[in-house]
A and B are shown apart, each in its own frame.
Chain A
Amino acid sequence: MTPRETALGHLDLDALTDAQADVSFRMDEDAFRGFYDRTSRQLWSYLNRLTGDRNAADDLLQEAYYRFLRADAPLESEAHRRHYLFRIATNLAADRQRRLRTQPPPASAEIDTFADGPPAAALNQRIDVQSALARLGVRDRAMLWLAYAQGATHDEIARVVGLKTGSIKPLLLRARRRMAALLEATSTRRAR
């Protein structure tokens, strides 16, 4: 690691002790390793769906874990830690979406990699689903993915997206209705 040039001159970041740099995380490395191994795949999938961009999912994954570690919040249970992590990831994806608001979200950057993969019908289905998801807002994508791909309860979804549990039911139904309509529209268009 190279020393960083700052207003204070050359500072070797590695030379700072944890106490000096205030980097004592609540979780130790072993606990983090276990937690990461249990959650990273699901979190990556979630971020990939929210952003529609594999590279962005890679970047946000690491940022989400960093913020999770830096947060000085008491996280008693695995479920609480998990919700907290997914909440951070949701906020990061929403922030990214806000920055990119002027540009339409990519349908998928990964479609090309399937050129020799699944048969055309499966590929078309995949593209339809991805473009339908891309037309929804980040919150709708988050709720649908959590509810229907990860099997989360309304309470869990509420914790992740930062809403009251009672608000989830109507919002999820509306998002589902929109998604179903988009799927139907794309498949009808393809059938013509």
Chain B
Amino acid sequence: MTLTFCPRETEALTLVGIGQWPARAEPELLRHVAGCASCAEAIEVATALAEIEESDERPPLPDAAVVWQRAQWQARHDAVRRAARPVVAVQAVLAVVTVALIAAAVTWLVMIDAMAGPMAALGRLSLALSESLGPAVVAVTDVVRLEFQSGPVLLVAGAIGTGLVALGVAVGLAAIADAQTLPTHRRDSPKSSA
């Protein structure tokens, strides 16, 4: 099936457009349309669309001043949102880091409490062992004790690491959110500008 416009369609469509089809059509044009599938199809579609356009009950549209004011307000709203975006991102980062530090501190306190008994027992054990087994064992127990003593240091380092990871995630999320809320003007721009 070929896709072609009949050159005489325009004549018929002009009459449809002014609501004069077929009343003011020349007999010759009527004869042509009767035998031309393309013209008949164009007239069928144009007549259908013209009829629903005419019968469209258009609601009262807002006044231009109202639309103008809303556009002004929306533009201010967007400007404020754009201005607030970096502040929100920084606040989010700070909140995440604070939560991470608090969690690390609580964990550390809980561990200190939980380790108090074992550490004291270990101390007593190391003392007893050093007295009975000599300097070789003392070296081993010193290493074990050092690990427990360095626990808080490791926890703080872990908290800082967690904070840095959280910072990276928050900055990444803020960047994604920023990209998603960019205005779409470019998309709306016609490809062929005059």
Contacts and interface: CB of A to CB of B under 8 A. Distances in A.
Interface of A: 1, 4, 6-8, 11, 13-14, 16, 18, 20-23, 25, 29, 32-33, 36-37, 40-41, 44-45, 48-49, 54, 58, 61-62, 65-67, 69-74, 76-77, 80, 83-84, 87-88, 91, 110, 113-114, 118, 122, 125-126, 128-130, 132, 144-145, 148-149, 151, 158-159, 162, 169-170, 173-174, 176-177, 179-180, 183
Contact of A110 (B57, B73, B187): B57
Interface string B119-154: 000000000000000000000000000000000000
B91 A77 contact: no
A45 B58 contact: yes
Given A4-B80, A13-B73, A179-B45, 16 more contacts: A23-B75, A29-B68, A33-B65, A37-B64, A40-B61, A41-B61, A66-B75, A67-B188, A73-B193, A83-B190, A113-B57, A144-B45, A148-B50, A158-B192, A170-B3, A183-B48
A72 B192 CA distance: 15
A74 B189 CA distance: 10
Nearest to A22: B79
B52 to A, nearest CB: 5
Contacts of B64: 32-33, 36-37, 40
Interface in B22-70: 41-42, 44-46, 48-53, 55-59, 61-62, 64-65, 67-68, 70
27 contacts: A6-B81, A8-B87, A13-B73, A18-B72, A21-B76, A22-B79, A23-B76, A25-B71, A32-B67, A48-B56, A62-B70, A69-B75, A73-B193, A83-B190, A91-B187, A110-B57, A125-B51, A126-B55, A129-B48, A129-B49, A129-B51, A130-B52, A144-B49, A177-B3, A179-B48, A180-B44, A183-B44
Nearest to A91: B188
A158 to B, nearest CB: 8
B123 to A, nearest CB: 52
B176 interface: no
A139 B154 CA distance: 62
Main secondary structure of the interface of A (DSSP, over half): helix
B163 to A, nearest CB: 21
B183 interface: yes
Interface of B: 3-5, 13, 16-17, 41-42, 44-46, 48-53, 55-59, 61-62, 64-65, 67-68, 70-81, 83-84, 87-88, 91, 183-185, 187-194
Contacts of B83: 8
Contact of B45 (A49, A126, A176): A176
Nearest to A165: B192
